[in-house]
Amino acid sequence: MRKIYVWQQDNWPVFNWNKDAVSASLGKVRQKQGHLVGRISALGFEVQSNSVLEAMTEEVINSSSIEGVNLNPTSVRSSIARHLGLEIEGIRESDHYTDGIVQIAIDAARNYNGNLTESNLFNWHSALFPSGRSGVSPITVAAYRIGEEPMQVISGTFGKEKIHYEAPASSDVPAMMNELLTWVNSNTDIDAVLKAAITHLWFVTIHPFDDGNGRITRTITDMLLARADGMPHRYYSMSASINNMKTEYYDVLEKTQKGNLDITEWLLWFLKCLEAAVDSTEKVIDKVIEKAAFWEKCRRIPMNERQTKMVNMLWNGFDGKLKSSKWAKICKCSEDTALRDISFLVDEGALRKSDEGGRSTNYELNI
- The chain-wide mean pLDDT, for the chain, equals 91
Q: Which residues contact 164 (CB under 8 A, 6 or more apart)?
A: 152, 153, 154, 155, 250, 254
Domain boundary among 290, 313, 333: 290
pTM for this entry: 0.83
Strand partners, 166: 152
Q: What gap in Å lies between CA 361 and CA 357, rounded to an integer?
A: 6
Region of poorest pLDDT, from 84-98, 189-203, 319-333: 84-98
Split into its structural domains, the chain has a count of: 2
Given 259, 290, 321, which residue is the final one in a domain?
Answer: 290
Whether residues 38 and 62 fall in one domain = yes
Give the CA-trace dihedral at 223, 227, 231, 235, to 10 degrees. -50
Q: Which residue has the higher pLDDT, 3 or 353?
A: 353
The pLDDT assigned to 197 comes to: 98
Is residue 295 included in any domain, yes or no? no
Pick from 260, 290, 320: which residue ends a domain?
290
pLDDT tier at 92 (50, 70, 90 boundaries)? low
Query: What are the tens digits of pLDDT across the range 127-177?
Result: 999 999 998 899 999 999 999 988 998 888 777 788 899 999 999 999 999
Both 219 and 309 in one domain: the answer is no
Averaged pLDDT for residues 52-75: 92
Pairing of strands 133-134, 137-138: antiparallel
Where residue 105 falls (left for φ over 0; alpha for ψ -120 to 50; beta otherwise) is alpha
Q: Which domain holds residue 247?
A: 6-290
Is 36 within the bounds of a domain?
Answer: yes
Cα torsion at 222, 224, 226, 230 (round to 10°)? 180
Q: Express each pLDDT in 22-59 by its tens digit.
A: 999 999 999 999 998 888 888 888 888 888 998 999 99
Average pLDDT of span 109-117: 94
List strand residue ranges (DSSP E) for the chain, in order.
133-134, 137-138, 152-155, 162-166, 351-353, 363-365
Cβ atoms of 154 and 163 within 8 Å: the answer is: yes
pLDDT value at residue 94:
75
| Residues 29 and 100 grouped into a single domain | yes
User: Is residue 259 domain-shared with residue 172, that is, in the same domain?
Assistant: yes
- Looking at the structure, do residues 314 and 276 belong to the same domain, yes or no? no
The alpha-carbon radius of gyration of the chain (Å, integer) is: 23
> In this structure, how many other beta carbons lie within 10 angstroms of the beta carbon of residue 316?
15
- Omega into 13 within 30° of 0, i.e. cis? yes
pLDDT in tens, 233-270: 889 999 999 999 999 999 999 999 999 999 999 999 99
